[in-house]
């Protein structure tokens, strides 16, 4: 598996690669991760049973980063060619381009997972590069493209990817970690109703609209609910300033990155994901598996997982008025909240366990090597 970064950096692509690698290793497959080496990281280590080699060397200076990344990865894939049969990339970008170029020369099968769709997605990112035609040509040489949502599948087709190379495999969730249960987190907030957001604090996640919606929720609900924001990102300072300007006070808490996300999900009455674009969000799968009521944007990647009025309350992205109304509804209507949470939980257990998803990847690998 190849990723531009890996744990302790823990975005969606990294988390999915990690839990899939753990599953495959448990099933007897030999897996190792190639990723970028950064200051302070061990060059080789084993993370929860997954061998990680931080050996891709880069120069962190503008265009030199991309050039150095590509040259280093190409060299490593050639030198380590006897150790693997399949190269699995977890984003359609530099590493996928390198593997696509080498696939014929090395006679190795290449699988590219497309991690995100829409205005912030992999295809838009490729389209925005100066040599986009070259990147697309190299990546299209891969043997299979994994579309994690219907939106991404349609995007791949619209960009000229061969239909017979596209397979639909969703993200998975670790049900041994994320499941319903009790949590002491609620005691830390004196029994107040907890509304939870988990994710990067950046433009794509739509937190600005959540804060503006929260002002309406706070004004209408005199019981004193609290909004907890878990995560870090480039807009953290700006969002803190917005919280102050909206006079939200102690009703909003920025808690940064936490390791025990599952405990917060179990404590929450409502989980909110106001994203502007997604692939198939890990945290939404985790919320589903925990059984918490969900409010989310009605966008591709989310609508593949939950349906409005059946397993979640879905609202248009950027619509703070409807977002506030949906949050308030679930805080007050306990019957609806319980019904939606139960339906989402049942779907997570039925369709999105890492075991079910892992078996689909095993089938895909087997077909490629047959």
CATH code, 244: 3.40.50.2000
- 272 plus 303 within the same structural domain: yes
Confidence class for position 61, pLDDT limits 50, 70, 90 = low
Which string of DSSP letters, residue by residue, matches 289-328? HHT-EEEEE-STTTTTT--BTTTBEEE-TT-HHHHHHHHH
In the chain, alpha helices (H) = 12-26, 63-79, 94-106, 122-127, 132-139, 150-158, 207-220, 236-245, 261-267, 282-290, 320-332, 334-351, 354-369
Is residue 211 scored above 70 in pLDDT?
Answer: yes
Other CB atoms closer than 10 Å to residue 321's CB: what's the count? 13
- 227 plus 110 within the same structural domain: no
Confidence class for position 62, pLDDT limits 50, 70, 90 = low
The rounded mean pLDDT for the chain is: 91
- Alpha-carbon distance of 148 to 319, in angstroms, equals 26
Is residue 57 scored above 90 in pLDDT?
Answer: no
- 63 plus 82 within the same structural domain: yes
- Alpha-carbon distance of 294 to 366, in angstroms, equals 37
Is 7 a domain residue? no
Is 114 a domain residue? yes
Judge contact between 66 and 33, C-beta under 8 A: no
Total structural domains in the chain? 2
Judge contact between 92 and 73, C-beta under 8 A: no
- 346 plus 359 within the same structural domain: no
Is 2 a domain residue? no
Confidence class for position 153, pLDDT limits 50, 70, 90 = very high
- 117 plus 249 within the same structural domain: no
Which of 88-92, 101-105, 143-147, 207-211 shows the lowest per-residue confidence on average (mean pLDDT)? 101-105
Average pLDDT over residues 306-317: 96
Average pLDDT over residues 296-324: 95
Is 225 a domain residue? yes
Which of 151-160, 260-269, 319-328 shows the lowest per-residue confidence on average (mean pLDDT)? 151-160
Is 141 a domain residue? yes
Is 286 a domain residue? yes
pLDDT reported for residue 29: 95
Which percentage of the chain shows pLDDT scores above 90?
64
Is 214 a domain residue? yes
Residue identified by tokens 């265009």 is 63
- 69 plus 114 within the same structural domain: yes
- 128 plus 261 within the same structural domain: no
pLDDT higher at 275 or 221:
275
Confidence class for position 37, pLDDT limits 50, 70, 90 = confident
Give the pLDDT confidence of 16-32 residue by residue, as tens digits.
999 999 999 999 999 99
- 123 plus 266 within the same structural domain: no
**Cβ-Cβ contacts under 8 Å for 32 (sequence gap 6 or more):** 1, 50, 51, 52, 53, 83, 84
Residue 82 main-chain phi, psi, to 5 deg? -80, -5
Judge contact between 264 and 325, C-beta under 8 A: no
pLDDT higher at 106 or 325:
325
Average pLDDT over residues 32-43: 82
pLDDT reported for residue 64: 73
String of b and e for 99-127 (b: at least 16 CB within 10 Å)? bbbbbeeeebbbbbbbbbbbebbbbeebe
260 is written with which tokens?
């025990």
- 301 plus 334 within the same structural domain: yes
Q: Torsion angle of alpha carbons 190, 191, 192, 195, nearest 10°?
A: 120
Average pLDDT over residues 247-272: 94
Is 193 a domain residue? yes
- 252 plus 365 within the same structural domain: no
369 is written with which tokens?
């090597």
Query: Using the 8-state DSSP alphabet, how is residue 102 labeled?
Result: H
- 362 plus 330 within the same structural domain: no
- Domain span at residue 41 reads 12-172+353-369
pLDDT reported for residue 170: 94
pLDDT reported for residue 208: 97
- 216 plus 161 within the same structural domain: no
**Cβ-Cβ contacts under 8 Å for 228 (sequence gap 6 or more):** 194, 195, 196, 197, 253, 255, 264, 268
Residue 94 main-chain phi, psi, to 5 deg? -60, -50
pLDDT reported for residue 59: 73
Average pLDDT over residues 204-224: 91
């Amino acid at each position: 598996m190849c990723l531009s970064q890996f744990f302790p950096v823990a975005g969606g692509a990294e988390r999915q690669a990690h839990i899939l690698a753990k599953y495959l290793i448990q099933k007897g497959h030999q897996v190792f991760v190639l990723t970028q080496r950064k200051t302070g990281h061990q060059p080789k280590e084993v993370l929860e049973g997954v061998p990680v080699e931080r050996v891709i060397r880069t120069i962190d200076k503008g265009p030199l980063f991309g050039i150095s990344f590509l040259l280093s990865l190409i060299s490593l894939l050639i030198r380590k060619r006897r150790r693997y049969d399949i190269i699995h990339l977890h984003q359609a970008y530099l590493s996928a381009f390198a593997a696509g170029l080498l696939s014929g020369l090395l006679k190795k099968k290449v699988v590219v997972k497309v991690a995100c769709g829409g205005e912030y997605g992999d295809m838009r990112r490729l389209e925005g590069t100066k040599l986009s035609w070259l990147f697309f040509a190299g990546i299209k040489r891969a043997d299979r493209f994994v579309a994690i949502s219907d939106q991404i599948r349609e995007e791949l087709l619209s960009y000229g990817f061969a239909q017979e190379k596209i397979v639909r495999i969703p993200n998975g969730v670790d049900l041994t970690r994320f499941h319903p249960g009790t949590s002491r987190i609620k005691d830390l907030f004196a029994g107040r109703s907890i509304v939870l957001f988990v994710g990067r604090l950046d433009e794509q996640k739509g937190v600005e609209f959540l804060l503006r919606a929260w002002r309406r929720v706070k004004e209408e609900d005199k019981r004193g609910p609290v909004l907890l924001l878990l995560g870090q990102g480039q807009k953290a300072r700006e969002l803190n300033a917005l919280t102050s300007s909206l006079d939200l006070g102690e009703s909003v808490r920025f808690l940064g990155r936490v390791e025990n996300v599952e405990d917060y999900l179990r404590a929450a009455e409502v989980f909110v994901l106001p994203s502007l674009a997604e692939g198939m969000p890990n945290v939404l799968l985790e919320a589903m598996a925990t059984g918490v009521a969900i409010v989310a944007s009605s966008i591709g990647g989310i609508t593949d997982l939950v349906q409005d009025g059946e397993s979640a309350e879905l609202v248009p992205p950027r619509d703070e008025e409807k977002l506030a109304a949906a949050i308030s509804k679930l805080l007050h209507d306990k019957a609806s909240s319980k019904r939606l949470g139960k339906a989402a939980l049942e779907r997570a257990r039925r369709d999105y366990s890492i075991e079910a998803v892992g078996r689909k990847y095993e089938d895909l690998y087997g077909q490629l090597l047959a």
